[in-house]
Amino acid sequence: MIRLNKYLADCGVCSRRKADELILSGRVTVNSKKVTELGTTVNEDNDSVAVDKRKVTPVRELTYIMFNKPKGCVTTASDEKGRKTVFDYIDLKKRLFPVGRLDYDSEGLLLLTNDGNLAQLLTHPSNEIPKVYIVKIEGDIVESDLAIIRKGAVVDGEKFGRAKVKVTGVENGLTRLEVTIFEGKNREIRRMFAAVEKNVVFLKRVAIGELKLGGLSRGAYRFLTETEIEYLKRLG
């Protein structure tokens, strides 16, 4: 017997944390009965599990992809507003899901996989996996504002984690910075800079841990090497 959220992760549906959300929203059934309790366990051999009435089974072949997400697409399988998604760029007949998120106006390194357990490891805040971004903001920024972001800005009563921030250049009225965060909350960097009244006009993720985007073109993807996969698994 295993917990239902782990079973969904093993099926490549999503990470365990996202699986909890699916369960709470009533989208998961076990043997045709809706389940909404997070502590539910299932028998891998005998129970029939479905998400949105679609039966799911454990993935036998795991896939790991690095994608250079361009601006102007969302990191979901479909979009109610009809916007382009990252899956419009990925020509694979496999059910993958993004590890973490990059918002519509952001670009750069995005991992996609059907390994829900690795996704859980990489996205859980307690693991504090560093994610590096190139950021451009309008105007300049003073040291006192940088100190607020480094310590952990407070936005609408929500405390953000510490961040590493360094200015790398100033050009055409924009300040370029390298920012490293360790959590990955929704629109975290944009909201941190908004807390010191700075507007982010460019945001690109270039690394997760020591895994770097490198020369991968915008809108292109590649499979991770075995060495890279093993490295990511060790990060937790």
Contact 130, 209 (CB under 8 A): yes
Contact 213, 220 (CB under 8 A): no
Q: Which residues pair with 41 in a beta bridge?
A: 3
Tally Cβ neighbours within 10 Å of residue 42: 20
114 is written with which tokens? Answer: 């059907």
**Active site (annotated) includes residue 103:** yes
Those residues with Cβ within 8 angstroms of residue 80's Cβ, 6 or more apart along the chain or in another chain = none
Contact 114, 63 (CB under 8 A): yes
Q: Which of 20, 47, 103, 145 is catalytic?
A: 103
Tokens 């028998």 correspond to what residue?
43
Catalytic residues: 103
